Structure 1
Amino acid sequence: MASRTRRSGPAPRARGGSRRRLPLRLLLPLLVLVALMAMLMLRGYVHSEILADHRVRPPAATDQVPEKIMNGGPVIDTRSGRTESLRVPDRRLVLTFDDGPDPVWTPKVLDVLRKHDAHAVFFVTGTMASRYPDLVRRMVAEGHEVGLHTFNHPDLSYQSKKRIDWELSQNQLAISGAAGIRTSLFRPPYSSFAGAMDNVSWPVTEYIGDRGYITVVNNTDSEDWRKPGVEEIIRKATPKGGKGAIVLMHDSGGDRHQTVEALDRMLPDLREQGYEFANLTEALDAPSAHSRVTGLEQWKGKAWIFLVQASEHLTDGLVVGLAIVGTLVIGRFVLMLVLSGLHARRVRRRGFSWGPPVTEPVSVLVPAYNEAKCIESTVRSLAASDHPIEVLVIDDGSSDGTARIVEAMGLPNVRVVRQLNAGKPAALNRGVANARYDLIVMMDGDTVFEPSTVRELVQPFGDPRVGAVAGNAKVGNKDTLIGAWQHIEYVMGFNLDRRMYDVLRCMPTIPGAVGAFRRSALERVGGMSDDTLAEDTDITMALHRDGWRVVYAENARAWTEAPETVQQLWSQRYRWSYGTMQAIWKHRRALVDKGASGRFGRVGLPLVSLFMVVAPLLAPLIDVFLVYGLVFGPTQKTIIAWLGVLAIQAVCAAYAFRLDRERMTHLISLPLQQILYRQLMYVVLLQSWITALTGGRLRWQKLRRTGVVGAPGGGPVPSQRSQSSGERRPVA
């Protein structure tokens, strides 16, 4: 695309020196990205993996633990300064399940309990309760008790009081939002019997009692987390001599089919032995541990559950989007590699020609708006052309003496046409009207041609079906990091694409820096249009719809000055993205065009929409999930997957550089390009989408040029900084 932009008028200044506000088109992408990352972080946070309670702590002293606690029952009440220990009466069994709710195993456990008319206590974590609130509601609705098991399952013996308070409050918030209740029951993660209390865990138990909670451990461990077999689980879960017990089991943390089967068998067997399966408070003949929540506390809980559920659904959608973009990216890479190879073999084979050699003179149009720093190099490069040409510099109301510079050069076959500032499409149409010849080459005022560029560019017109030719635009100022990144993008993203689209006969864009047209083709489609900000894409699509072929000439090289600052690059790519969307929308009826002219609508327009608009918009998901995987895991698999994507891109880039006969050394910056440069392009495209959807209008803007790309003396002309003067000079 053309790299020059124009200003339609001065931007209004803020009145009275008022503070400039962030434009909506910038604010919305920023808010979208922040919200997206926040929802993913929330999703990752509530997906912390929960394992069974079998951590082994080093033994600690027990002299601070009261003897009646050490030798007492599994229910410990330290509320209001009390130090009480309670046991479950004989023939009463309190089944407790830790670490849930789990979407697979908790419903099976609940089904078995309902089948045998038994109640139990579920000590749920906040992370799981937030993700599966319907299961918590089912527990309460079916008469079971719910207790706290902290939010994300840390060992509280090694946490600060602030962290303990947070774990309790967040766990309570999740239960309140899920079932509308508050519970006074608590079980510490990694706890066991009361006799295992030590000087590290006892102060935590006292503190939790001060916060209003009853601590419930166990005195019968089924050890189902070991998966020892159904018979062994039943044996360990059965109390001796008809004693009452609090039995520890798990409904989450892994495969619990043995637990479910053991439960289904032991409940009727123990009931025949006279056991009752009650809630804890029922077994102790105590008031219910649940109380209803209302008002602000209830709404806070509901809001929390809503946000977590929204993050779950959003992530599910993003996973689908990631699959789509992965398919598109890999599909595009495969198409580029295969079809660009076919294109190269076709045009490079011995004896290939487009038709009779094209030797007729050509009119070269150079629209120029304040190009004083570049125009002399541009015109001199044309003067060195080995093909007969006339040069028309159309000065579009420049205020920096661009026209006078060209006139002072006094070169033959170079004319200056002046007009009031009307924009690039108008300048090009003015040039076409003043051109003497039927073949017309268009270029930018900041671009230089090699001596053979025009000759190579017009040879495809030997085929009368060809209406336009795209040249090989290259970055001249690639000695800076941002220039090197754009160099990779031009060689890989633009020129490899053009080879692919040439084979598919649906080239989407004739680059403004180097393109050629038949006058008759331009006249049939009405010339250059200012309906969009991508006049080069617009005219190319119009030519396809009129039935002309548009092809790519790989040897028609042009060296253009790419933006050298992030701000200028942003402005250019923002206009390109928005202009491409405008062109796609303008030519949307190509989808229903018939005959040869309908090929672009059937093939080209869908591919352009997928590869240039949809895929780039979804491509950030690769990097978003990279960050997500690095933070929440699995880290190793995430890094391998990302490196795999980078390897595929490196292969495509290396192949593109080989086809263009470029030095591979510039690919050293490819990984950094993928980390930094690509993110900028994502935000630009997102901003373009928002501008389009909100009906915003994007004004032309003039990019500042430095004139660093000089006229060639033959061959490529990338510029580099002079070691002695610090200035840039062309490489001969």
Structure 2
Amino acid sequence: MSKARPPRVRAHWVVLAVLLLGLAMALTIQGYLHHLAGIGDDAAPTGGQAGSVPPGVSQGGPIVDARGDAVRAVRPPDRTLALTFDDGPDPEWTPQILDVLAKHHVHATFFVVGSAAIENSGLVQRMAAEGHELGVHTLTHVDLGTAPPWRRQLEIAGAQDVITGITGHAATLLRPPYSSENDAVTDGTWAAIQAAADQGYLTVLTTLDGEDWQRPGTSAIERNLTPSNGQGQVLLLHDGGGDRSQTVAALDSLLGKLSDQGYRVTTVGDAVGISSMRAANPAERVSGTAFVWGVQLSDAVIAAISWALVASGVVTVVRAVLVVGFAARHRRAAQRAMGAARGRRRINAPLRHGIIEPVTVIVPAYNEAAGIEAAVRSIAASTHPVEVIVVDDGSTDATSEIVESLGLPSVRLIRKENGGKPSALNAGLQAASHDIVVMVDGDTVFEPDTVRALIEPFADPRVGAVSGNTKVANRSGILGAWQHIEYVVGFNLDRRLFDVAECMPTVPGAIGAFRRDALVRIGGVSDDTLAEDTDLTMALCRDGWRVVYKDDARAWTEAPATLGALWKQRYRWCYGTLQAMWKHRGAVVQGGQAGKLGRRGLGYLLVLQVLLPLFAPVVDVFAVYGLIFLDPLRIAALWLVFLAVQLLMAAYAFRLDRESLRPLWTLPLQQFVYRQLMYLVVIQSVVTAFAGVHLRWHRMERYGSLRVPPAPQT
């Protein structure tokens, strides 16, 4: 007995999962570095217990060595000043400070914030090249005294990786953000100092704070930093976090005065006689470089996505404006045509519809026993004279027997071996007796006036095909409601636009009418693609025919009742549409009707039905990012605005189709499930197309739910 084969995971889903995981990681990095913390004009936190802080630390020198069992806290020798800068580098103020230091031939210690260092890596390289000392000031300027242990580790290690990745050297000095003098060390800060010491860091506090973050004026900053008794000090200034123009001016003046007073101004390491930076080993270099490049790559990805989001938002708004505007124009044209028809009716009743000859209705049927009776009876009951040809394409159920048992005089049955839907349609086309043929799927029912309304546009000799209005018959349940909304809002609004723009790409298989000689001229229905209706429509456009839309020619069809069945149907539709678009890509450079299809129709399909859905998962991931790292209220407000636009557009489409607005309550839910499903269908179809895989026909399950609903009141 053979073992059951495990389910095979398709490679493109693995690729998609990896890409989305990579995007999620990039967004997480971006959000952590730029939105969970920040550098600003703020003072050190006040208060907090200090019961566990050793007296040697709280009353000792500003350079704390907590490595090992004995804790030492020392200060620079007399008349030696360690000059330190926090919160940089900053692209505006750090270069000016470096210029002042170079002018006075002074080296300083810069405690850099990792996120700022990545954005200004050139300045960090300049600091190292000019002999300045670098220290760790965490990755995102977080308060280590209140951060949990995991974040302390991440913040310190991340900042160290940044310094190593940019300079090739590792720092051993650390200054916790928001720290100040020794007597301000709290229990939380002391715990962070001890944790850092376990990793080999010396902690540098301060003795003289310039308080330049308050911008008290150049003179005040100088006074705050001027020693009074010749004792060694650690001076604190800032090269980032805000406007540092006063800092630059005060530094230039102060360095001159301190030199005249005989003070030596230098780095922390030089002040206490230690080497605070060492050459990183190869593993540290690789880790640091990878970290820096990873963050820079994530920044680039997010920047690109941000621009793409703006573009997609613009496209979405433009699309909404276009479809609503063109739908209104289509409605006005239909009303004018209706008025003209009423005028003809008063003049000459037999010619009131323009077309009075019978038409042939072709129904391709393969295992359609569940709904074929309802379909055929509804078509045979048309108010316009019809010849109904049912082509049984090798059914293995009772489809043929059901059709024969109806005994309808206008219905003819053709049996043939299974050859696919295009083959069945071509067989019906050969047997057709009339100049206009209507093609109908076997799971579709007509209203009595559907055929009459459908063929009216053929009074115009330029028209080669007419698309009807497909309605979802089994719209009960939330999945049926979602598909009902999609048919009314998506398909039918687009068809109105395509009609006005003269670039209709698809006459649906559920209801379409054609000139028989036009079909014969293009070689009938092709089996080159899985979307034979789209392929056929595009071929007619390229042959110079106009294709129009009749919204009052209604057909009721069964929609998939399960997500699995829906996936199979839409996968075939989407893949077949891609095939047809590629087959007819030459229309882009043609003129006339072909050019309108190529440049308008194919362009619309490419942007709105291929590229935008491909980008949609990124939008959803970015929305989650915004809720976590940005302003959730603003993100929610933007989503509500988007939903409001969708609802307004849907309400307008439902009014055009004279549909009840009740199903629109499901529209918000549609955004969370149905929309993502359709996007994944597009992704799978595109990947399948690029992989060159030949997709086989997926036949939809029939449910036998077809009934002819009463026609809407006009």
Smaller-chain TM-score range? Answer: over 0.9
For 1:522 and 1:120, locate their aligned partners in 2 and report how far apart those are by CA, in whole Å. 84
Give the alignment partner of residue 711 of structure 2, picking from 694, 697, 715: 715
Residues 436, 516 of structure 2: 8 Å contact kept: yes
Match of 2:454 in 1: 457
Q: Which moved more, 1:673-682 or 1:252-261?
A: 252-261
The one-letter code sitting in structure 2 at the alignment partner of 1:369 is Y
Q: What's the CA shift for 1:160? A: 4.6
Match of 1:727 in 2: none
Match of 1:580 in 2: 577
Q: Structure 1 residues 92 and 661, CA, compared in 2 at 3 Å: closer, same or farther?
A: farther
For 1:105 and 1:625, locate their aligned partners in 2 and report how far apart those are by CA, in whole Å. 33
For 1:231 and 1:657, locate their aligned partners in 2 and report how far apart those are by CA, in whole Å. 71
Q: Structure 1 residues 474 and 134, CA, compared in 2 at 3 Å: closer, same or farther?
A: farther
**1:172 is aligned to 2:160:** yes
Give the alignment partner of residue 20 of structure 2, picking from 33, 39, 43: 33
Q: What's the CA shift for 1:632? A: 0.7
Match of 2:665 in 1: 668
**1:304 is aligned to 2:301:** no
Q: Structure 1 residues 109 and 473, CA, compared in 2 at 3 Å: closer, same or farther?
A: farther
Match of 2:323 in 1: 336
The one-letter code sitting in structure 1 at the alignment partner of 2:553 is A
Q: What's the CA shift for 1:22? A: 0.6
Give the alignment partner of residue 513 of structure 1, picking from 510, 515, 521: 510
**1:486 is aligned to 2:494:** no
For 1:636 and 1:582, locate their aligned partners in 2 and report how far apart those are by CA, in whole Å. 43
Match of 2:142 in 1: 154
The one-letter code sitting in structure 2 at the alignment partner of 1:673 is Q
**1:589 is aligned to 2:589:** no
The one-letter code sitting in structure 1 at the alignment partner of 2:288 is G
For 1:617 and 1:528, locate their aligned partners in 2 and report how far apart those are by CA, in whole Å. 30
For 1:193 and 1:406, locate their aligned partners in 2 and report how far apart those are by CA, in whole Å. 95
Structure 2 residues without counterparts, runs of 5 or longer: 345-351
The one-letter code sitting in structure 2 at the alignment partner of 1:583 is A
Give the alignment partner of residue 319 of structure 1, picking from 287, 291, 306: 306
Q: Structure 1 residues 352 and 291, CA, compared in 2 at 3 Å: closer, same or farther?
A: farther
Residues 41, 242 of structure 2: 8 Å contact kept: no
For 1:269 and 1:340, locate their aligned partners in 2 and report how far apart those are by CA, in whole Å. 78
**1:144-175 CA distance string (max 9 Å, x none):** 22222233343333345454334333332333
Q: Which moved more, 1:175-184 or 1:334-343?
A: 175-184
Q: What's the CA shift for 1:383? A: 2.1
**1:619 is aligned to 2:607:** no
**1:422 is aligned to 2:419:** yes
Q: What's the CA shift for 1:601? A: 2.4
Q: Which structure 2 residues correspond to residues 67-78 of structure 1 after superposition, within 5 A?
A: 67-78=55-66
Match of 2:349 in 1: none
Q: TM-score, normalised by structure 2?
A: 0.92
For 2:12 and 2:55, locate their aligned partners in 1 and report how far apart those are by CA, in whole Å. 68
The one-letter code sitting in structure 2 at the alignment partner of 1:688 is S
Q: What's the CA shift for 1:185? A: 0.7
The one-letter code sitting in structure 1 at the alignment partner of 2:397 is D
Residues 133, 305 of structure 1: 8 Å contact kept: no
Q: What's the CA shift for 1:53? A: 7.7
Match of 1:647 in 2: 644
For 1:154 and 1:352, locate their aligned partners in 2 and report how far apart those are by CA, in whole Å. 75
Q: What's the CA shift for 1:290? A: 1.2
Q: What's the CA shift for 1:497? A: 0.8
The one-letter code sitting in structure 1 at the alignment partner of 2:711 is G
The one-letter code sitting in structure 1 at the alignment partner of 2:531 is A
Structure 1 residues without counterparts, runs of 5 or longer: 1-13, 718-732
Match of 2:438 in 1: 441
**1:657 is aligned to 2:654:** yes
Give the alignment partner of residue 253 of structure 1, picking from 230, 241, 248: 241
Q: Which moved more, 1:157-166 or 1:613-622?
A: 157-166
Match of 1:539 in 2: 536
CA RMSD, 1 decimal: 2.5
Match of 1:360 in 2: 357
3-state SS of paired residue (1:619): helix
Q: Which structure 2 residues correspond to residues 264-283 of structure 1 after superposition, within 5 A?
A: 264-283=252-271
For 2:543 and 2:357, locate their aligned partners in 1 and report how far apart those are by CA, in whole Å. 25
Give the alignment partner of residue 408 of structure 1, picking from 405, 409, 420: 405
For 2:586 and 2:511, locate their aligned partners in 1 and report how far apart those are by CA, in whole Å. 28
The one-letter code sitting in structure 2 at the alignment partner of 1:499 is R
Q: Structure 1 residues 44 and 198, CA, compared in 2 at 3 Å: closer, same or farther?
A: closer
3-state SS of paired residue (1:464): coil
**1:523 is aligned to 2:520:** yes
Q: What's the CA shift for 1:193? A: 0.5
**1:208 is aligned to 2:196:** yes
**1:105-161 CA distance string (max 9 Å, x none):** 444444444454432222233444455544433332232222222333433333454
Q: Give identity over the alignment, percent.
A: 49
Q: Which moved more, 1:128-137 or 1:211-220?
A: 128-137
Higher relative contact order (CA 8 A, sep 6+): 1
Q: TM-score, normalised by structure 1?
A: 0.90
Q: Which moved more, 1:486-495 or 1:292-301?
A: 292-301
Give the alignment partner of residue 93 of structure 1, picking from 81, 94, 97: 81
Q: Which moved more, 1:691-700 or 1:29-38?
A: 29-38
3-state SS of paired residue (1:328): helix
Give the alignment partner of residue 637 of structure 1, picking from 611, 631, 634: 634
Q: Which structure 2 residues correspond to residues 1-20 of structure 1 after superposition, within 5 A?
A: 16-20=3-7
